[in-house]
Amino acid sequence: MHTVAVIALDHVVPFDLAVPTDVFGWVRLADGSPGYRVVVCGPADEVSAGPFTIRVRHGLATLADLTETDTIIVPGVADDDASVPAEVVDALRAAAARGTRIASVCVGAFTLAATGLLNGLRATTHWLGTAELAARYPAIEVDPHVLYVDNGQILTSAGAAAGLDLCLHLVRRDYGAAVAADAARHSVTPLERDGGQAQFIAHEPPAPDGVSLRPLLTWMEQNLADELTLDRIARHAALSTRTLNRRFREQTGTTPQQWLTRVRLRRAQHLLETTAHPVEWIAAQTGFTSPSTFRERFKRLVGVSPAAYRASFRGAEIASAPRGGAPVAGALAAGALAAGALCVSATYTRP
């Protein structure tokens, strides 16, 4: 079981604190056992959380006492100009030296930056704070356009819901797409958004008529094996291709074909994890024109070949399972997803 420690500083942003405690707390493996132990710790017994106060059960010494701690989450605080307590800086640096994975949520990047652990790395935060982060910490390569940045041991996320995306990304890294998809269902959140997707900074609001793409996205997911050209998608939606592209940008932040490719790959991941079907069959079922095209795109976007992905995430029972498969129970093989995995598809709606 992975242990996740969430640090609660004074004036912590409640949402930033709640997201990791809930997401990791909901994770269940194929046998029903919990995937994570979650503890909340801080430098004081009580911390302000805006309109209410939170009692913290564990002190910062817990980070050192829990030598098996796998991940530390650093939520944001309401005042990112506030100085970070020296004991927090020391605790995070010591944890990093031990190899602990550390991730910040939203403006928690300012706390993480104060430790020096982001120096020389690419990082992000809420788009309203990216300019200030870059100005205050010039040694950090601040990217204002992404939802999260995964540097391996050190990760950062953008604002609000991007923290949820980051937590689900970590679940994918640890346990694979099927477990992450189950966690997302508990969170009632989609899994289309990968780290490179743009933050919703300057996108226009949805169409004035309030038309949602949800029915169209559902139809596309149900017909992944078909040839879904832009013209065919537009005809089904009774829209011009220009209007279709505009609405996709408004409501998903990407193009129809890019969205479709990601969903196909996530469906392929699910099939690789949960069935023993050959790669050629999976390529056909997910709409790729040839197995070689499927392998090339899968490796380019996921970071490993389909065969390597399957070897990393399927349980021993899958190898001997009849065609049709069985639930995955395996854990992450070391380094298999250094580039970060995608995940199983679910219908996307604009936050």
How big is the chain by its Cα radius of gyration, in Å? 21
* Six-digit token string for 302: 């996921």
End-to-end CA distance of the chain: 31
Average pLDDT over residues 268-290: 90
Q: What is the mean pLDDT of the chain?
A: 80
Burial of 210 (0-12, 13-18, 19+ CB in 10 A): exposed
Q: Count the Cβ atoms, other than its own, within 10 Å of residue 123.
A: 27
* Six-digit token string for 105: 């949520």
Cα dihedral across residues 107, 175, 303, 70: positive or negative: positive
The one catalytic residue in 41, 106, 167, 343 is: 106
Closest CA to 148 of 127, 132, 131: 127
Respond yes or no: is residue 106 known to be catalytic: yes
Per-residue confidence band for 234, with pLDDT thresholds at 50, 70 and 90: very high
Distance CA 264, CA 267 (A): 5
- Give the pLDDT score at 172: 86
Closest CA to 209 of 243, 258, 252: 243
Whether residue 320 is predicted with pLDDT greater than 70 in this model: the reply is no
Per-residue confidence band for 247, with pLDDT thresholds at 50, 70 and 90: confident
Secondary-structure breakdown of the chain: helix, strand, coil percentages, each rounded to the nearest 5: 45, 15, 45
pLDDT digits (tens, 9 = 90+) for 128-185: 899 999 999 999 999 888 888 999 999 999 887 788 889 988 998 898 877 887 787 7
* Six-digit token string for 338: 């250094």
pLDDT digits (tens, 9 = 90+) for 13-44: 999 999 999 999 989 998 889 999 999 998 88
Whether residue 210 is predicted with pLDDT greater than 70 in this model: the reply is no
- Answer whether 214's CB lies under 8 Å from 347's CB: yes
Structure pTM? 0.64
Which residues share a beta bridge with 5? Answer: 39, 72
pLDDT digits (tens, 9 = 90+) for 56-113: 988 888 777 666 789 999 999 998 778 899 999 999 999 999 999 999 999 999 999 9
Strongest mean pLDDT among 134-138, 182-186, 207-211, 339-343: 134-138
